Structure 1
Amino acid sequence: MPPDPQEEPGWSVIGGADRADPPWPELLHRVALGDEDAFSRLYDEVAPLLLGLIRHVVRDPALSEEVLQEVLVEIWRQATRFDARRGSARSWLCMIAHRRAVDTVRATEASRRRDSAEGMRIIEEQVVDVQEEGILRVEAQRVESALRSLTAVQADAIRLAYMGGYTHREVAALLDIPVGTAKTRIRDGMIVLRDRLGVTT
């Protein structure tokens, strides 16, 4: 079963009402109960947003359409795992789309590499990557702990900007807030993180 985006590293808790997308939490709840009409409505409302995010990562229009269909199937299957008390529907849906798009790009690149003359070199590099992954995993745990010291809105903005790879303008669009507000949340959150992690500049 695919991991729940609300349980993965990179997910944040967003308190308060789902202001930016008022019908989506209710639609997801109905989808979780197997309501096909609710899924059809959710599809119509979120497909343009999710397709735009996917194309930003995948680039290829035809492949992006295929990824969108996979994302929507995943939403149908995982709707029971969405918890409106732990985060906004908009961010939950976008995280699913972004993760699937990144996975697709990685899979496509891996396939190309396997077919190239550099295949052996890639395999040798992966040995090093495994060692580095162990180090990075420990660091990720420290960062995750530090993120818990932020406010929910700060953590959400930082996760999108630094873990999701979005620009300040894209973060503002995803969270439905002014660009200046997004920048402030990211800046203030980074100040707290640097203090918690003992980073000096």
Structure 2
Amino acid sequence: MLVDVVIDGIDVPDDGTEPADGVGELLQRVAGGDEQAFARVYDILSPRAFGLILRVLVDRAQSEEVLQEVFLEVWQSAGRFAPNRGQGRSWVLTIAHRRAVDRVRSAQASSDRDVRTGLRDLDVAHDAVSEQVELRIEGEKVTAALAALPDVQREAITLAYFGGYSQSEIAALLGAPLGTIKTRMRDGLSRLRTEMGVTA
């Protein structure tokens, strides 16, 4: 039988879950410099945040680095959390997702530079160069098409196709109704097809 306990004035179930507004309350205390509240937020959300980051990055060492960056940002910017705009849990996990995506983009940019340097310095057969160029152009088209989407549509599509989340998981993560997430994805994919010039 699970027993609720009270930690720092917040009723917390003993199964490790947190009441709907518990993280938000803790974040408000973190904004005031409360280290115990910050430790509690870390204990509650670091496993889920790490899992999300690892799904995006795959590399465990990089995921651990990004997790540290996420909670440093939470500590430094907890005052920007607005309880009237969503749950604290979603706010922290959104930071984690964005940090992971930023790391992927940074790694991709570095890899692209290395590829360009390598292709310039090596005597590579024409077919291989052609294929690299074609893949690069296609990648740039996708990136540009994603950038043209409204933030809410891009975020839902990124979580689904790069993060591997289901629509239900995305709804829970973003604190939005499932129907809203489905609409964002449908409209976003439709616009992506248009941006990419896909007619069928």
Match of 1:162?
A: 157
Contact (CA 8 Å) 1:20, 1:90: kept in 2 or not? no
Asked which structure has the greater CA Rg, the reply is: 2
C-alpha distance in structure 2 between counterparts of 1:119 and 1:44, whole Å = 48
Match of 2:12?
A: none
Aligned residue for 2:83, secondary structure, equals coil
Contact (CA 8 Å) 2:171, 2:181: kept in 1 or not? no
C-alpha distance in structure 2 between counterparts of 1:30 and 1:50, whole Å = 20
Deviations 1:129-173 (A, max 9, x none): 69x95x976x54xx46xxxxxxxxxx7xx6653253333243255
Contact (CA 8 Å) 1:54, 1:98: kept in 2 or not? yes
Higher relative contact order (CA 8 A, sep 6+): 1
Q: For structure 2, list consecutive stretches of 5 or more residues without a partner in the other structure.
A: 1-17, 122-128, 195-199
Structure-2 change in CA distance of 1:189 and 1:109 (3 Å): closer
Deviations 1:79-133 (A, max 9, x none): 00000101221221111001100111111222223223247999xx79xx69x95
Structure-2 change in CA distance of 1:92 and 1:161 (3 Å): same
Q: For structure 1, list consecutive stretches of 5 or more residues without a partner in the other structure.
A: 1-18, 145-154
Match of 1:78?
A: 77
Match of 2:96?
A: 97
Give TM-score scaled by structure 2 length: 0.61
Question: How do residues 50-129 of structure 1 correspond to structure 2 at under 5 angstroms?
Answer: 50-116=49-115, 117-118=118-119
Structure-2 change in CA distance of 1:111 and 1:31 (3 Å): same
Deviant stretches of 4+, over 6 Å: 119-122, 190-194
**Aligned-pair identity (%):** 42
Aligned residue-pair number: 158
Give TM-score scaled by structure 1 length: 0.60
